[in-house]
A and B are shown apart, each in its own frame.
Chain A
């Protein structure tokens, strides 16, 4: 057998295509993912770690020929489950109140406007705290730009259930903070 060569077939083209796709998704979803995870209660460092892990898994998933249907929903589902695994800090963010006086981006052009906007943020915060976990998560994913179908994939819900949940949550916010 010496001198004989064995043909080795590497899935280079598939790997290269997968890497490009992962890179494109990373560029598109990194910021919304970070914001979603931070709003769920993870610290900035934890969120960065989760995002890195999610995209490593995505790379493996695509390289191994995994299903790419509803890939955005898949990415958020993995991130959501990773956040749940870090249960210590999960949901800490909306459990604590935002320091509206210092952290809310209010219009400070006039004192009256500033006071009104701060009051609006306080009411909004109270209203968000009254939402159920599912309602809050649906709104967070919706704010990240996901469609109802993708939200359903991320949270393990049907698309019509997502529509109902989002509508209910938006109506609650409208009623309770009277925006």
Chain B
């Protein structure tokens, strides 16, 4: 171990006065061990600086990622929320505009045709009003119209009940009539029916 080996780091950092620097320089020319040691110290110093650079770059990259990630995630969340709200509103609108129409039309026709014969409709619950998926209206009607006694089905052309043009071509109405034991008509309901779809189809 050389006496000057304890000053090698200070020599590397130029922290010695001029006389000491010159002395170490002279010593290094003749001492291979100290030269090797000095190279190792220099290499360790460089590695430490490189490591600090890597830490700084990693932090900078993390900062850049977070700078872009937060707006992108927020934007995606807002878009998803907006899409969900739009879908929800569309679902409500489709239900209100499309689904109850056949039922209401049939009920209106029935009430106009035989107001005295039809019992008052059951009050709707809020669940029925806001449900998103309802059963097909015709099937619902059939289930509701299953009478206690066998019913007589009479097909009536639409032209015979409504003025011309009021009902689209090909539609007829089926009247479901149930009779009381004394022979009087107890209940009658009209169901719209598409009867001449094949008849009206264009001929080849």
Q: Identify which of A38, A140, A166, A179 contacts B59 (C-beta below 8 A).
A: A38
Interface residues of B in 95-145 (CB under 8 A from A): none
Give Cα distance in the complex from A119 to B143, angstroms: 78
B69 contact set on A, CB distance < 8 A: none
CB pair A166 B9 closer than 8 Å: yes
Q: Which of B39-47, B82-90, B166-174, B189-197 is the interface stretch?
A: B39-47
CB pair B44 A103 closer than 8 Å: no
Q: Which residue from chain A places its CB closest to the CB of B12 in the assembled complex?
A: A170
CB pair B48 A143 closer than 8 Å: yes
Total A residues in contact with B, Cβ cutoff 8 Å = 34
A-B contact count (CB 8 A): 85
Total B residues in contact with A, Cβ cutoff 8 Å = 28
B53 at the interface (CB under 8 A from A): yes
Give chain A nearest CB distance to B5 CB in angstroms: 10
A128 contact set on B, CB distance < 8 A: 48, 51
A71 at the interface (CB under 8 A from B): no
Q: Which residue from chain B places its CB closest to the CB of A120 in the assembled complex?
A: B47
Q: Which residue from chain B places its CB closest to the CB of A93 in the assembled complex?
A: B55
Q: Which residue from chain B places its CB closest to the CB of A178 in the assembled complex?
A: B40
Main secondary structure of the interface of B (DSSP, over half): helix
Give chain B nearest CB distance to A20 CB in angstroms: 28
Most chain B CB within 10 A, of A35, A125, A128, A179, is at A179
A171 contact set on B, CB distance < 8 A: 9, 41
Q: Which residue from chain B places its CB closest to the CB of A149 in the assembled complex?
A: B15
Known: A170-B9, A170-B41. A105 touches B50 (CB 8 A): yes
A81 contact set on B, CB distance < 8 A: none
B44 contact set on A, CB distance < 8 A: 170, 173-174, 177, 179
CB pair A163 B54 closer than 8 Å: no
CB pair A93 B47 closer than 8 Å: no
Q: Identify which of B40, B52, B61 contacts A35 (C-beta below 8 A).
A: B52
Q: Which residue from chain A places its CB closest to the CB of B37 in the assembled complex?
A: A174
Give Cα distance in the complex from A44 to B55, angstroms: 11
CB pair A105 B57 closer than 8 Å: yes
B56 at the interface (CB under 8 A from A): yes
A55 at the interface (CB under 8 A from B): no
CB pair A98 B55 closer than 8 Å: yes
Give Cα distance in the complex from A20 to B13, angstroms: 29
Known: A44-B63, A179-B40. A143 touches B52 (CB 8 A): yes
Give Cα distance in the complex from A143 to B59, angstroms: 18
Q: Identify which of A94, A124, A167 contacts B9 (C-beta below 8 A).
A: A167
Question: 10 shortest A-B CB distances, which residue pairs?
Answer: A44-B63, A167-B9, A103-B58, A173-B44, A174-B44, A143-B49, A35-B56, A38-B59, A174-B40, A179-B43
Which residues of B pack against A, CB within 8 Å? 6, 8-10, 13, 15, 40-41, 43-45, 47-63
